[in-house]
């Protein structure tokens, strides 16, 4: 851009207006130049200008407002996943027997929710030296309660599962012996 003719003839106000107009034009050209450089870098696959966010130091130096502090929630006491219910089972010991405490036997029931029952079976030593322990409730086999029933859907693939299935069926229990990660036999292709 060539300077206008007769700069010496312009007044001070006209010169100031010209300088302001030229400074605005230079700022616009610089902005356009930066945008074009970023576009060229993007088209070449180069990294653009980094996106630097404000540090937030201004907020850190401001005084805290008295009621705006948030209270952190604490985790609290960890609860066990299954509640264990204690039941004391009594045995009719002959007179003269000495009470020797309890023998703990844990049985699990599965009814819409898990329930674990710790049977505290009375143990007595009779005068003749025999130990008597209160029997478990009827239907309790192993460490599972009488209401727990599982299904046998598939033929077991391993020999020890076959033996377990026959034992389970022999005692009147149904057991699911499906291998992990496989579809039941009736749905298998």
> Residue 108: beta bridge partners?
116, 144
**pLDDT tens-place string over residues 107-116:** 887 656 667 8
State whether 123 and 101 are in the same domain: yes
One domain for residues 111 and 140: yes
Query: Residue 143: what are its φ and ψ, rounded to 5°?
Result: -105, 30
Q: How many CB atoms lie within 10 A of CB 108?
A: 15
Distance CA 34, CA 1 (A): 21
Tell me, yes or no, whether 135 and 114 share the same domain.
Answer: yes
Q: In terms of domains, do 90 and 134 share one?
A: yes
Residue 52 in domain:
no
Confidence band, pLDDT 50/70/90 cuts, at residue 187: very low
pTM over 0.75: no
Mean pLDDT (the chain, rounded):
76
Rounded Cα–Cα distance for residues 125 and 164 (Å): 35
Q: 139 and 127 share a domain?
A: yes
Are 148 and 176 within 8 A, CB to CB? no
Task: Summarize pLDDT for 17-47 with one digit per residue, the tens.
Answer: 989 999 999 999 999 999 998 888 888 888 7
| Residue with more model confidence, 117 or 151 | 117
Q: Are residues 117 and 133 in the same domain?
A: yes
Q: Is residue 78 a part of any domain in this protein?
A: no
- Judge whether residue 51 has pLDDT over 90: no
Residue 69 belongs to a domain: no
């Amino acid at each position: 851009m060539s300077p206008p003719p007769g700069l010496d003839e312009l007044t001070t106000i006209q010169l100031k207006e010209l300088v302001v107009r030229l400074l605005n034009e230079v700022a616009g050209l610089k902005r356009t130049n930066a945008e074009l450089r970023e576009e060229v870098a993007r088209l070449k696959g180069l990294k653009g200008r980094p996106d630097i966010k404000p540090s937030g130091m201004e907020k850190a130096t401001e005084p805290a407002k008295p009621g705006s502090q948030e209270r952190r929630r604490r985790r609290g006491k960890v609860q066990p996943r299954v509640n264990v219910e204690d039941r004391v089972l009594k045995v009719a010991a002959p007179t003269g027997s000495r009470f020797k405490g309890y023998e703990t036997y844990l049985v699990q029931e599965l009814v819409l929710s898990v329930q674990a029952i710790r049977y505290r079976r009375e143990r007595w030593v009779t005068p003749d030296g025999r130990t008597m322990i209160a029997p478990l409730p009827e239907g309790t086999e192993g460490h599972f309660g009488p209401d727990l029933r599982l299904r046998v859907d598939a033929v077991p693939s391993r020999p020890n599962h076959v033996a377990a299935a026959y034992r389970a069926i022999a005692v009147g229990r149904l057991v699911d012996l499906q291998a992990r990660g496989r579809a039941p036999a009736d749905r298998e292709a």
